[in-house]
């Protein structure tokens, strides 16, 4: 057995590893030149220096290169600069498009705003019917008839004025006094016109549900029953009529639900608070719904009584007219029934013969 002291040493054994220094110590040794065996450790010490230098360098700009717009080595790690290019293209297109000229206000409208700022100013309100003639009568020197007609037409067709009409606001006179509310048919037509303009601005967007909801609110605010409103606003436009029918169907469904709630409440024999807790509803909502049903029933009963009274009055008037005509016919003499002394002139009678 060979002694350990006489064993042949291994010549290819690696030298022991030097202790690893952190980056800061390595930089200090490089700057001071105090490292041990600087010539032998040059490759080892240069690698941390290169890493430190690379870490201190700013990141390289990634520019799209060849090979289908891929940059760097093999096109890895590159993102196309499409958002910035799209923004630049949109900006250039916006600059290329001519600016829309600002619409000039009609001189008569400017004068109306100066005279009546509360009516033709920032807030538009529906104007009373016949205001055109009243303006001409009040300001004959300020307006010409044709200019005022054009200005009033522009004002009445503006979107802001149509919004005021569609909201059902009261009409106003030139002194700013509120008069009667806008007629239901005028409110209806204003709503349809506003919907048509929104459809032109928002092409492809489904605005029909909003229109149906607004028509339904207009029907409830009109004070008319559903059938009377339908007769009032019915037109030759099939689409508009279909919207009205849909709104009427929605209102009928809501009324049926309210009536069912009233029947359930009356059958329960409970108070409103207990009924609300039983169905998981708010007390205020139950009270409001029940009151709404009772009011609707009173209105329907009053309308039925008024219609019945009108029918009775019409029948009485027709009967009275027929009786008067019959009496007139009976009293007036006909030519055939006239007395002989009235129909033919009397002939002088011959003298009677005398006897001798």
User: What 3-state DSSP class applies to 41?
Assistant: coil
Tell me 6's DSSP state: T
Distance from the Cα of residue 311 to its chain's centroid: 42
Query: Can you count the helices (H) and strands (E) in the chain?
Result: 16, 2
Instruction: Output the pTM of the full model.
Output: 0.58
- The rounded distance, in Å, linking the Cα atoms of 215 and 52 is 74
- The rounded distance, in Å, linking the Cα atoms of 348 and 353 is 15
In whole angstroms, how large is the CA radius of gyration of the chain?
49
- The rounded distance, in Å, linking the Cα atoms of 303 and 316 is 20
User: What 3-state DSSP class applies to 97?
Assistant: coil
Q: pLDDT tens string for the chain (356 positions)?
A: 445 455 555 555 566 666 666 666 776 777 666 444 444 444 444 455 555 555 556 556 555 544 444 444 444 555 555 567 776 766 666 555 555 556 678 888 999 999 999 899 888 999 999 999 999 999 999 999 999 999 999 999 999 999 999 999 999 999 999 999 999 999 999 999 999 999 998 877 889 999 999 999 999 999 888 899 999 999 999 999 999 999 999 999 999 999 999 999 999 999 999 999 998 999 999 999 999 899 888 888 887 888 788 888 888 888 877 777 766 666 655 545 544 444 444 455 555 554 44
Reading the block at residue 169, the tokens are 């606001």
Domain residue spans in the chain? 106-182
- The CA angle 104-110-111, to the nearest 5 degrees, is 150
Domain 106-182 in CATH 1.10.1710.10? The answer is yes
pLDDT score recorded for residue 356 = 42
């Amino acid at each position: 057995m060979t002694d350990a002291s006489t064993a042949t040493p291994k010549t290819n054994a690696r030298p022991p590893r030097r202790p690893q220094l952190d980056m800061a110590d390595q930089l200090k040794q490089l700057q001071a030149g105090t490292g041990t065996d600087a010539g032998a450790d040059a490759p080892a010490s240069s690698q941390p220096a290169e890493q430190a230098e690379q870490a201190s360098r700013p990141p390289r700009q990634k520019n799209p290169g060849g090979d289908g717009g891929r940059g760097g080595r093999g096109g890895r790690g590159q993102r196309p600069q499409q958002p910035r290019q799209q923004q630049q293209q949109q900006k250039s297109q916006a600059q290329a498009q001519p600016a829309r000229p600002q619409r000039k206000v009609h001189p008569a409208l400017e004068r109306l705003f100066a005279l009546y700022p509360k009516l033709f100013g920032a807030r538009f309100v529906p104007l009373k019917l016949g205001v055109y003639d009243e303006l001409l009568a009040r300001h004959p020197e300020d307006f010409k008839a044709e200019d005022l007609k054009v200005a009033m037409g522009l004002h009445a067709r503006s979107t802001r004025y149509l919004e005021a009409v569609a909201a059902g606001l009261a009409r106003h006179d030139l002194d700013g006094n509120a008069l009667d509310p806008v007629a239901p048919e005028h409110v209806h037509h204003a709503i349809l016109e506003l919907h048509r303009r929104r459809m032109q601005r928002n092409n492809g967007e489904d605005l029909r549900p909003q229109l149906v909801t607004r028509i339904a609110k207009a029907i409830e605010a009109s004070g008319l029953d559903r059938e009377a409103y339908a007769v009032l606003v019915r037109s030759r436009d099939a689409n508009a009529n279909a919207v009205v029918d849909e709104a009427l169907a929605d209102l009928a469904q809501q009324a049926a639900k309210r009536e069912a709630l009233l029947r359930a409440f009356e059958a329960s024999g409970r108070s409103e608070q207990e009924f609300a807790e039983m169905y998981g509803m708010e007390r205020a909502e139950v009270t409001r719904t029940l009151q709404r049903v009772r009011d609707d029933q009173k209105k329907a009963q009053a309308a039925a009584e008024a219609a019945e009274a009108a029918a009775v009055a019409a029948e009485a008037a027709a009967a009275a007219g027929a009786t008067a005509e019959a009496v007139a016919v009976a009293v007036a003499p006909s030519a055939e029934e006239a007395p002989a002394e009235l129909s033919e002139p009397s002939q002088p009678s011959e003298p009677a013969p005398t006897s001798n």
